[in-house]
Amino acid sequence: MHKVSHKLQSCAEVTAAVFLIGIIFCVLVQVVCRDILKVTSTWTQEIAVYCFMWLTMVGAPLMVRRGEHFVIPLFIDKVKYKRVFLCMIDLMVLAVGAVFLLYGVRFVQSGLGKTSVAAHLPFIFVYIAYPIGGALTVFFAFEMLLEHLGVIPPAEVARDTEGGLD
């Protein structure tokens, strides 16, 4: 399971980097067009928003994989049954991922045949981020759950060992 997870993580990291570069490029083009060339560029803002959406939907599962998703260390450190608490967190994250996956598929179906106004980009390329992000979240949360249950050994991943954000 860790081999598949590592490959998914690598793909997600590359995808996130591409969309981050896309945001930077679009914002740079927009500033140059507006402030230097004195022309309006509507597509850059739209594409930057879509890149940000993709970055979020691919980046959030990466934080789950690394154990850096939002957790309040105060509760983790004080709880008597830490392992049970971590498993409950994993189940909640898994449930949220499942919602994004299931409703994301419906969202993709609603966007079939539609295109964005400024960039004329088919919405399927925009909306597909939701089920992909949901699927990655479900997979990585399930892996974390199995680790916390002791079913599989911990992965060789740079993780936040404190159980929360610094």
Q: How far apart are CA 130 and CA 136, in angstroms?
A: 10
Q: How far apart are CA 2 and CA 9, in angstroms?
A: 10
Closest CA to 149 of 87, 93, 91: 87
Q: What is the mean pLDDT of residues 80-104?
A: 93
pLDDT of 77 > 90? The answer is no
What confidence tens digit (pLDDT) does each residue in 107-155 have? 999 999 999 999 899 999 999 999 999 999 999 999 999 999 999 888 7
Q: How far apart are CA 109 and CA 21, in angstroms?
A: 28
Rounded to 10 degrees, the C-alpha dihedral 43/46/47/48 comes to: 120
Closest CA to 133 of 40, 71, 69, 42: 69
Question: Hey, where are the domains in the chain?
Answer: 2-149
* Percent of the chain whose predicted confidence (pLDDT) is above 70: 90
What pLDDT, on a 0 to 100 scale, did the predictor assign at position 62?
Answer: 95
What pLDDT, on a 0 to 100 scale, did the predictor assign at position 157?
Answer: 66
What pLDDT, on a 0 to 100 scale, did the predictor assign at position 85?
Answer: 85
Instruction: Report which residue type is found at 123.
Output: F
Q: How confident is the model at residue 164 (pLDDT cuts 50, 70, 90)?
A: very low
pLDDT of 161 > 80? The answer is no
What pLDDT, on a 0 to 100 scale, did the predictor assign at position 155?
Answer: 79
103 touches 130 (CB < 8 A): yes
Where does the chain have alpha helices with state H? 2-31, 42-66, 73-78, 82-110, 123-127, 129-149
